[in-house]
């Protein structure tokens, strides 16, 4: 098939759509080269906003038709899980199983790649989804729209992937293609700019700062534990970082909005 798109930025964004969503894409229509996620890392927050806005609109439509905030939130999150294929949720559950069981690096890696879900994974995933529902419902009740909150949350998680990859090396157990390569400073700056522009128009600088601190703590803690258990990070670990960072950034917004004393 003839390649119709030559613009690098369009191709990069389409590569993130293929990787982070279940939207069917005919890659040959866009490029005759293999997708380069390392090069496309700048677009990670952009695809985060895309997933979050599309999912959040479902919640806003629910509110428009008179559904409760809770039910609308559940519908929005269901759509996000379908759209993303539960990509980061799977990473969180796998990491929780592996790190929770412990043992040698080989044993931890084996547990993480077991298709069966254990107690630690079920617990982490259940609590994570409950926290997501609670945070989104609380922020919507405070006046934010589902689309804005979920867009900011997902974009923050995607940006955290880039930052974590910058500071932590891949584990020897990381599968080829499951983890992005070395990211240039230019791509990190562009990704941060894309994430920041909508955020500064919606949130206070203090809430952005607190949320960013919470995310930094999550990246440090998960990265440290991953180095301990696996000698580096893997795709599942990056997924867990994305999921956790999404929740913690929203938690920072909520804490500041509710006037938590610091």
- For residue 19, tell me if it sits in a domain: no
**Whole domain around residue 63: which residue ranges?**
39-257
- For residue 215, tell me if it sits in a domain: yes
pLDDT at 261 over 60: no
- For residue 187, tell me if it sits in a domain: yes
Q: Which pLDDT score is estimated for 200?
A: 94
Show Cβ contacts of residue 185 under 8 Å, excluding neighbours closer than 6 positions. none
Q: Which pLDDT score is estimated for 178?
A: 61
Task: Write the pLDDT tens digit of every residue in 198-207.
Answer: 999 999 999 9
What is the chain's mean pLDDT, rounded?
Answer: 92
Its sign, for the CA torsion 227, 233, 236, 241, is: positive
- For residue 72, tell me if it sits in a domain: yes
- For residue 242, tell me if it sits in a domain: yes
Closest C-alpha among 153, 132, 126 to residue 74? 132
pLDDT at 248 over 70: yes
Tokens of residue 182, six digits: 């070395």
Q: Which pLDDT score is estimated for 2?
A: 47
Q: Which pLDDT score is estimated for 6?
A: 66
Mean pLDDT for 234-259 is 92
- For residue 7, tell me if it sits in a domain: no
- For residue 11, tell me if it sits in a domain: no
Domain count along the chain: 1
Using 50, 70 and 90 to split pLDDT, how confident is the model at 241?
Answer: very high
Q: Which pLDDT score is estimated for 127?
A: 97
Task: Write the pLDDT tens digit of every residue in 34-89.
Answer: 888 999 999 999 999 999 999 999 999 999 999 999 999 999 999 999 999 999 99
- For residue 20, tell me if it sits in a domain: no
- C-alpha 23/C-alpha 9 separation (Å) is 18
Q: Which pLDDT score is estimated for 35?
A: 87
pLDDT at 1 over 90: no
Q: How many Å separate Cα 53 from the centre of its chain?
A: 14
């Amino acid at each position: 098939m003839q390649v119709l798109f030559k613009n690098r930025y369009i191709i990069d964004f389409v590569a993130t759509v293929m990787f982070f969503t279940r939207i069917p894409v005919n890659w040959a229509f866009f490029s005759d080269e293999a997708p380069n996620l390392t090069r496309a890392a700048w677009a990670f927050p952009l695809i985060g906003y895309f997933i979050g806005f599309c999912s959040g609109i479902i919640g806003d439509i629910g509110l428009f038709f008179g559904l409760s905030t809770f039910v609308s939130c559940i519908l929005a999150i269901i759509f996000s899980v379908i759209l993303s294929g539960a990509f980061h949720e799977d990473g969180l559950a796998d990491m929780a199983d592996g790190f929770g069981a412990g043992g040698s690096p080989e044993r931890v890696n084996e547990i993480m790649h077991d298709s069966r879900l254990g107690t630690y994974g079920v617990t982490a995933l259940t609590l994570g989804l409950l926290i997501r529902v609670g945070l989104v419902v609380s922020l919507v009740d405070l006046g934010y729209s589902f689309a804005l909150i979920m867009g900011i949350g997902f974009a923050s998680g995607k940006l955290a992937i880039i930052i974590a990859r910058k500071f932590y090396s891949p584990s020897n157990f990381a599968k080829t293609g499951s983890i992005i390569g070395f990211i240039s400073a230019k791509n990190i700056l562009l990704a941060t700019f894309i994430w920041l522009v909508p955020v500064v128009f919606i949130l206070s600088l203090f809430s952005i700062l607190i949320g960013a601190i919470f995310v930094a703590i999550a990246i440090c803690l998960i990265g440290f534990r991953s180095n301990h258990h696996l000698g580096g990070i893997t795709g599942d670990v990056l997924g867990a970082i994305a999921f956790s960072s999404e929740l913690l950034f929203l938690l920072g917004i909520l804490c500041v909005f509710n006037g938590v004393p610091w």
